[in-house]
Amino acid sequence: MTDPLILVLDEGTTSTRAMLFTPAGEPVGAAQRELRQYYPRAGWVEHDAGEIWEKTLACAREMVEKAGGAGRIAAIGITNQRETTVAWDRESGEPLAHALVWQDRRTAAFCAELREAGHEEAVRGKTGLLLDPYFSATKMRWLLDNEPAVAEAARDGRLAFGTMESWLVFKLTGGADRTDAGNASRTLLLPLAEPDWDEGLCELFGVPRAALPEVTDNAGMFGETLPDLFGSAIPICGLAGDQQSATIGQGCLSPGDTKATYGTGAFILANKGAEIPHSDHRLLGTVLHQLGGRRHYALEGSVFVAGSLIQWLRDSLGLIERAPDSEALARSVPDNGGVVVIPALSGLGAPRWLPEARGLISGLSFATGKAHIVRAALEAMAHQTYDLAGAFAADGAAWSALNLDGGMSANDWMAQDIANLLGLPAIRPDFVETTALGAAMLAALGAGLHPTLEAAAEAMIGGERRFDPDMAEKEREWRLAAWRKALAAV
């Protein structure tokens, strides 16, 4: 092993990881630590940014050792849970409060207030986002209003606000102040069409512009790690939010290319090239990447409940012992026996956005067995995807194939069912850690190991498996009609 290596820090919601890649995209090592989740009240979700830093550093050190020293690592790429907001003190370098996680709903009332005051259309027009607690700006405002240490640091000019990549870059470099345009596009403060933060949006949300980091490309030189962290300095050359990174790691680099990640929830992003996306169907517009100051955009739709439905079947209903058992059960029956599962266990996401909706299992009879329910639960993934496909098509981003990844995509039966219902090929890479791979590609580009993102994709993305549709049209129509009927009852 004499090639330089790439170290990826993949800071997720439930765990933080470090992975080593060769410039050919071979994974050669991984370390992982679970993260503590804090739920102080219903709807509140917090992380300890200090713990995230320490565990990320511990994972990174394991990988530096595995590589044979910092000198063997050409670049670091960072990918992160998006929107989660950290407030820290630029002088002490310490967090000023717990980080507010993307799932946190505590700012729902503030969002409703802004909607009622008529701000949503203007905010959507600029940022591509909705007035929803999901995004960072209202979390920043909450921290200023409710955490005295945050307000005090703001008064003294010591306050830094950032998403996780900014926090990690700050700690790794001992003070660099950066966010990439993709992560920044999830805050509600960055217009899709402008290079920098918007004064009017900062004012609307009550966020001091001076607390925000510099908006940069996704690949380049973003600073060097402090020499004593790993023995010698390593340049940080790639930054990207997890869903953007997965889109890049899937090789969805051309307009129209679309990926769907099935993890706890499901996230679908369609590449829109240099065209700023506008949705009439409540999809989100977002920056996919910015390279050399030029942006590519994506249209995004998310489904709140995907793998978490399978977890629920396992943990709350006890219908399966392990998530992968769902596949054999689904195959054990010829059809769903008339059962439909609407997985609105925590509301419905795009394209409906019904936070108050609740789930439903319909079509039960004495002939219903657990296999039918499990099969219908897996079928719900294809149905939710099909409904999103309609919204993407109506917004001018019809799919010609769907690139799958995420833990749930390991289920071959589900992958085939998605292809069947969409009537499109579903393509699954052999290496499904596309989030980490995307960050490795960006870091390799930033470090000059590959000349373009396309060249990085060519060199680093491996083989894939293709699922072609093979369902009779009659059966497909029957499935779609049954889903529509059940959904109408939610």
Question: CA-to-CA distance for 269 and 285, rounded, in angstroms?
Answer: 10
Tokens coding 337: 């026996």
Is residue 408 involved in binding ligand ADP (CB under 6 A)?
Answer: yes
Structural contact between residues 428 and 415, judged by C-beta atoms closer than 8 angstroms: yes
Q: Is residue 307 involved in binding ligand ADP (CB under 6 A)?
A: yes
Instruction: Please work out the total of residues on this chain that contact ligand ADP, with binding judged by CB under 6 A.
Output: 16
Q: Which of 407, 416, 455, 471 binds ligand ADP (CB under 6 A)?
A: 407
Bridge partners for 161 per DSSP: 87
Site residues for ligand ADP, 441-470, by CB under 6 A, read none
Q: How far is the CB of 464 from ligand ADP (least distance, A)?
A: 17
- Tell me the closest approach of the beta carbon of residue 324 to ligand ADP, in angstroms: 4
Lay out the site mask for ligand ADP across 257-296 (x = CB under 6 A, - = otherwise): ------xx--------------------------------
If one asks whether residue 411 binds ligand ADP (CB under 6 A), the answer comes out as: yes
* Minimum CB distance to ligand ADP, residue 143 (Å): 25
Minimum distance, C-beta of residue 161 to ligand ADP, in the bound complex (Å): 25
Residue nearest to ligand ADP (CB): 407
Query: Binding of ligand ADP at residue 324 (CB under 6 A)?
Result: yes
Region binding ligand ADP by CB under 6 A among candidate stretches 21-29, 185-193, 248-256, 307-315: 307-315
Beta-strand runs (E) in 317-421: 340-342, 360-362, 402-405
Q: How far is the CB of 378 from ligand ADP (least distance, A)?
A: 7
- Give the Cβ contact number of residue 470 at 10 Å: 8
For ligand ADP, which is the closer residue by CB, 185 or 435? 435
Q: Give the type of residue at 107.
A: T
Which of 32, 232, 311, 346 is close enough to bind ligand ADP by CB under 6 A? 311
Question: Phi and psi at residue 39, in whole multiples of 5°?
Answer: -120, 75
Answer for the pair 83, 105: CB distance below 8 angstroms, yes or no. Answer: no
Give the whole-angstrom CA distance, residue 50 versus residue 55: 9
Cβ proximity to ligand ADP: between 310 and 449 the closer is 310
Contact between 10 and ligand ADP per CB under 6 A: no
| H/E segment holding residue 409 | none
Q: How far is the CB of 266 from ligand ADP (least distance, A)?
A: 9
For residue 86, the cross-strand partners are 162
3-state SS assignment for residue 79: strand
- Rounded alpha-carbon distances, angstroms, from residue 467 to 120, 379, 383, 400, 409: 40, 16, 17, 13, 12
Q: Does 310 bind ligand ADP (CB under 6 A)?
A: yes
Sole window of 35-43, 151-159, 303-311, 335-343 interacting with ligand ADP (rule: CB under 6 A) = 303-311
Q: Which residue in the block uniquely carries the two structure tokens 């509140």?
A: 44
327 binds ligand ADP (CB under 6 A): yes
Do 266 and 260 contact (CB within 8 A), yes or no? yes
The residue among 76 and 329 lying less far from ligand ADP, judged by its C-beta, is: 329
Tell the smallest beta-carbon distance from residue 406 to ligand ADP (Å). Answer: 4
Binding span for ligand ADP by CB under 6 A among 163-171, 282-290, 308-316, 384-392: 308-316
Instruction: For the CB of residue 404, give the shortest distance to ligand ADP in the complex, in Å.
Output: 11
Query: Smallest distance, Å, CB 392 to ligand ADP?
Result: 22
Place of tokens 């129509």: 477
Query: Which of 172, 28, 190 is closest to 180 using CA atoms?
Result: 190
What are the distances in angstroms from CA 438 to CA 179, 235, 348? 17, 17, 29
- Tell me whether the omega of the peptide bond preceding residue 191 falls within 30 degrees of 0, making it cis: no
Residues 13-72 that bind ligand ADP (CB under 6 A): 14
Residue carrying structure tokens 């596949």: 327
Distances (CA, A) of 182 to 67, 242, 374, 396, 406: 29, 10, 37, 22, 20
Question: Which residues of the chain form contacts with ligand ADP (CB under 6 A)?
Answer: 14, 263-264, 307-308, 310-311, 323-324, 326-327, 406-408, 410-411
